[in-house]
Amino acid sequence: GLKIALPETINEEVDQKFLNYKNTLYLVVVMIVYGLTIRLVGFFLTTSLFLLSSYYLLGERRWTLMFMLSFPFVAIFMFLIHGLLDIYLTDPLLKALGVIG
């Protein structure tokens, strides 16, 4: 028959001093701000800034890596969505710059 592997239940207490509630709360606030500003500012800038701030809150401090993992990936994603799949994302910033119509 079919066997299902379930994890062994261990009754370990979680040490509360290692939980970082402050950064979790900051990340939730960043997500709310992202959701509220994406239509006003546009997908490209808000998503890139959301990724940058998330990386920072999660402990990354190498700014070059953070920029390389946010702006180019969002640009590639926008190209795939807009250029290949013909799904139009309204982006007032890129429209003002003349990048998209």
Per residue in 2-14, pLDDT (tens digit) is: 567 766 677 777 7
Strands in 4-49 per DSSP E = none
89 phi, psi to nearest 5 deg: -105, 125
Task: Please name which of 63, 2, 3, 51 lies closest in space to residue 27, comparing C-alpha atoms.
Answer: 51
Is residue 59 within 8 Å of residue 8, measured between CB atoms?
no
DSSP secondary structure, 66-86, as one string = HHHTTHHHHHHHHIIIIIIS-
Q: How far apart are CA 91 and CA 16, in angstroms?
A: 42
pLDDT of residue 101: 66
pLDDT of residue 54: 94
**pLDDT band with cut points at 50, 70 and 90 for residue 1:** low
Top pLDDT among 30 and 21 is at 30
Whole-prediction pTM value?
Answer: 0.76
Is residue 52 within 8 Å of residue 67, measured between CB atoms?
yes
pLDDT digits (tens, 9 = 90+) for 63-84: 999 999 999 999 999 889 988 8
